[in-house]
Structure 1
Amino acid sequence: MSHPVIPAALPRQTMVTRLRARYFATPRDTVVTLVFAAFAAWVLWALIDWALLKATFAPNARDICRENPEGGACWSVVSTRWRIVLFGLYPFEQQWRSGVACIVMVVVAVLSCVPWFWSARRLPPLWIAGFGIFYVLMRGGYFGLSDVSEQNWGGLSLTIFIFAAVCLLGMPLAIIFALLRRSNLPWIARTMALVIDAIRSLPLLSIMFTFAIVMPFVLPDWAIGDKLYRVIVGYALFFACYQAEIIRGGMQALPGGQEEAAKALGLNYWHRIGYIILPQAFRNALPPTINQFVITFKETSLVTIIGFFDVMASGRAASGTADWNFATIEMYVFVGLIFFVFVFSLSRYGAYLERRLGVGRR
């Protein structure tokens, strides 16, 4: 009796072998690799030399920075005026509240990454409770905290507040819009499609201006509210229309037989949506959803154009005085680093979820 021949296992490629195959396979590849490696090394060394080796870090060292003959970075502007970037116009003696509020929302975001919270019964209460604590700490008026109006909010805390509020309002709206868009009643589906397409065709800045400037002229006095909240509502509506189309795309990717099977089992509409359709739709739509959150966080900087003192405006104000106007690059690098930390963390977590759930790969 003959035995089947088992092919010998191919030898595993070492890192050196892979690098040689990718970057040094031909003489031309070798030249290109060495040229770009030399250029990258030169840029990296110049950056390290400017940002670290020749830099000034001591606070209140404005004169030293001006007279620095080596031309290094002046991080003294950051160490001196970082409070403006993080807290804006928030009262100095109460800035601990703003800092604790930001930490609370960061903890909520971290807990949202824990699989135990991935259910409709746990995740929304977590965000609502975290956002409520954030608002109480920022606004005050309760538990012996002094009242601080929204006009004095600013910096990173205002950026986080706008982002969290937009997501809390926009995500439920997006689910409702997506379900209405898929309604079996043509007049509902077509009307919702018209609304979504109309809002998506407008720039976000025009929607912010409309809700901030125009709405007070058409709303009754009792419905006007603060400009900040009107802008958040407009931004949430914009977010919801984009996210609704993302969710609808995730629904359309599902096999039609699943919903038919659920009907055959006697499940009602809300059970089919809540237990079968939406969970799989969110799984299918995970990559664009993460991208939408990233875009939403970055576009909070647009509120500076309509008079809000967010982290971008705070950074500009911190280095915009006559004493520090020579250090604007360093301040913008610091603000960019703040955005990078939040956005990069969100992007990497999205990539982890894609690997865990097996989506976004072909």
Structure 2
Amino acid sequence: MRGEAQSERQATIPLRPPPGPGWLSRWLNALFGTWTDRVITLACLAAIVLVLPGVASWVFFDAVWSVADAKSCTPERGACWAVVEARFRLICFGLYPYDEHWRSTLACVVIVLVTVVSCLPVAWTLRRLSLLWGLGFATFYVLMRGGVFGLTAVTPDRWGGLALTLFIFASVVLIGFPLAIVLALSRQSKLPVISRLSAFAIDMTRSFPLLTILFAAAVILPFALPNWLQGDKLYRVIFAFAFFFACYQAEIIRGGMQAIPAGQDEAAKALGLSYLQRVAFVLLPQAFRNALPATINQVVITFKETSVVVIIGFFEVMTSGNAAFGSGEWTHAYVEVYVFVALIYFVFVFTLSRYGAYLERRMRVGLN
């Protein structure tokens, strides 16, 4: 009897799968698994060995770092990073008044801190996020615009640099996400008028390039609106950009909702939940989980597309970079300026992508 009980206990213990290969083995197998992989890997290593010393010499060893040595910046020397030191304020602040740069800096710090705090799980409630972004965005706007609390008024046409880029990006995402949810739900409405109108708006907007929509909002739309409804050009561009973002995001959310089994909605109906309750507590959470990779990708694309507003005449960070080497003294240092601007974009985009990967891992293991 004792032997039978012991055998039954052993039978109920699940067998663990054998340990798989470690990360080093998987990495080496990916690089040298087949003859094709080996040839490509060796060719890439040879190219790196040939190119890396020259790049390192240009970037670090032969570079000019100080404005005091700016006269030694020649094509024969390395990178002229002195342009970044000399034109840093212009790149980061654009046309914003020189004496008020501290306000633009503080506004950027506020919006970055709000973004970081909103990424923490403790802030993942609608009330907390609304309060956090409401206060943070209001603080950002007051610092940039001024006119209150003894701050000098600075109109939006004088905003520029990184602060303007962050303002456009944050405004587009904050306006676009709720609008995307409304468009996605409207397109799935059982009322033909609502579903067809939303489908027409989404498909029509997605058929035009972003530049066309922004140009129409900035230049053409004022001819069709009365003076009291025109508003500032920056706000028209932001709302047009947000609607463009919302149309693409609406299709991403709709795809996530279509991946939800029909039994989920039916079970919610059986529990007596209303339509709003089913959408808020059953459908949308699962839809966002299904659409998370595409959503992160769309947010990253939106941040990079803020540079398109240079065509409209705004002095965002890319335009500020162009102006930084526009003078005769620094004309030769355009590569260094573009590398610095690219580094700014890389920091923000890489951070967004890593946070998206963290969210995917967290939701994959089923944590709340």
TM superposition score category, shorter chain reference: over 0.9
Which of 281, 289, 297 pairs up with 2:303? Answer: 297
Greater displacement, 330-339 / 278-287: 278-287
- Following TM superposition, by how much is the alpha carbon of 1:59 offset from its aligned partner in structure 2, in angstroms? 2.1
- Out of 312, 318, 321, the residue aligned to residue 312 of structure 1 is 318
Change (3 A) 1:28 1:169: closer
Q: Is the 8 A contact 1:171 1:243 kept in 2?
A: yes
Structure 2 counterpart of 1:63, one-letter code: K
Change in 2 beyond 3 A, CA 1:295/1:7: closer
1:192 aligns with 2:198: yes
| Further displaced range: 224-233 or 37-46 | 37-46
Q: Work out whether 1:49 is the aligned partner of 2:33.
A: no
Which of 235, 240, 243 is the aligned partner of 1:237?
243
Offset, 1:24:
3.8
Task: Determine if contact 1:207/1:234 at 8 Å carries over to the other structure.
Answer: yes
Q: CA RMSD in A?
A: 2.2
The secondary structure found in structure 1 opposite 2:127 is coil
Q: How does 1:1-362 map to 2 (within 5 A)?
A: 13=21, 17-18=25-26, 20-25=28-33, 29-66=37-74, 69=76, 71-358=77-364
User: Which deviates further from its counterpart, 337-346 or 250-259?
Assistant: 250-259
Q: Hey, what's the Cα distance between the residues in 2 that align with 1:116 and 1:223?
A: 40
- Percent identical: 56
**CA contact 1:154–1:314 (8 Å) conserved in 2:** yes
Alignment partners' CA distance in 1, 2:293 and 2:357: 8
Distance 1:320 1:38 in 2: 38
Tell me: CA distance 1:263–1:331, structure 2 relative to 1, closer, same or farther (3 Å): same
Change in Cα spacing, 1:125 to 1:8, as seen in structure 2 (3 Å) is closer
Give 5+ residue unaligned stretches, structure 2.
none
User: For residues 300 and 278 of structure 1, do their structure 2 counterparts lie closer, same or farther at Cα, with a shift above 3 Å needed?
Assistant: same
Whether the aligned pair in 2 keeps the contact of 1:315 and 1:331 (CA below 8 Å) is yes
> Matches of 2:308 and 2:297 in 1, distance apart?
18
Equivalent residues of 2:176, 2:246 under 8 A apart = yes
TM, length-normalised to structure 1: 0.93
Note the alpha carbon deviations across 1:146-203, whole angstroms, 9 max, x for none. 1011111000110000001111111111111111111111121011101110011011
Offset at residue 10 of structure 1 (A): 5.2
Query: Offset of 1:45 from its aligned partner?
Result: 2.4
For residue 237 of structure 1, report the CA deviation from its aligned partner.
0.7
Higher percent of residues as helix:
2
Task: Note the C-alpha offset of 1:13.
Answer: 4.2
* In 2: Cα distance, 1:191 partner to 1:26 partner: 53
Moved more, 328-337 or 161-170: 161-170
- The alignment's TM-score, normalised by the length of structure 2, stands at 0.91
Cα distance in 1 for partners of 2:170, 2:322 equals 23
The one-letter amino acid paired with 1:207 is I
